[in-house]
Amino acid sequence: AQSVTQLDSQVPVFEEAPVELRCNYSSSVSVYLFWYVQYPNQGLQLLLKYLSGSTLVKGINGFEAEFNKSQTSFHLRKPSVHISDTAEYFCAYLETSGSRLTFGEGTQLTVNP
Amino acid sequence: NAGVTQTPKFQVLKTGQSMTLQCAQDMNHEYMSWYRQDPGMGLRLIHYSVGAGITDQGEVPNGYNVSRSTTEDFPLRLLSAAPSQTSVYFCASSRGGTGTKTQYFGPGTRLLVL
């Protein structure tokens, strides 16, 4: 079955530390991959996406992710986090021939001073 | 552009009541979707539409109805509310075909069913 797994439900880090949020997917067909962010009491907004081309994707707010087809992963990274990065982060995939976006369970990133 | 708008922002219902959650977008997007968000479960797709007059079921469609009579609007109807439908509901839209594949989300509707 197709699925997305976010390996950590909560990630606490200190301000200015690096962070990696892990995402693995399972699909028998080609997919597009996304990371969305949800700030408290708000809707979701797109951080970055992989559609094709370079496997290293840069997004907003200094985040980047690397698509690894052999490991079926799409981990999100930031070299130095800020308090304002505290939010819930969702990994998602879309089959290239489909229209249904499938989300992981989410990772709560908490940045402490 | 207002983007994706949802009304109401909050709603309290009693078990058995019905209601309609409204969703509208002004970006002329073909695709529209409804999700529910519950703690620890991410977002789960309820229903979606690939164009006016076309709808299909998602992962958790039971207890919900949708219709798409115009490109702009995609209302979600709760037929007989149950406490298990207490959740936050998000509407989203995106371009179809060879578009950017980015989904744009509304601010959400918080629903409490007593």
Q: What is the pLDDT of residues A22-44, one digit of tens each?
A: 999 998 888 899 999 999 888 89
**Share above pLDDT 70 across residues of chain B, in percent, rounded to a whole number:** 96
Under 8 Å CB-to-CB from B99, ≥6 apart: which residues? none
Show residues of chain A in contact with B58, CB under 8 Å.
100
> Which stretches in chain B have pLDDT values below 70?
97-100
CB-based contact, A44 to chain B, within 8 Å: yes
- Alpha-helical (H) ranges within B12-64 are none
| Helix or strand (DSSP H, E) at B93 | strand B87-94
Show residues of chain B in contact with A34, CB under 8 Å.
101-102
Q: What is the mean pLDDT of residues A66-90?
A: 95
**pLDDT value of position B100:** 66
Residues of chain B contacting A, Cβ within 8 Å: 4, 31, 33, 35, 40-45, 48, 50, 58, 90, 92, 96, 101-103, 105-108
Q: How far apart are CA A96 and CA A98, in angstroms?
A: 6
Chain-chain contact of B31 with A94 (C-beta, under 8 angstroms): no
**pLDDT value of position A1:** 64
Q: A103: pLDDT confidence band, cut at 50, 70 and 90?
A: very high
- Determine the distance from the C-alpha atom of residue B12 to the mean position of all C-alpha atoms in its chain, rounded to a whole number: 17
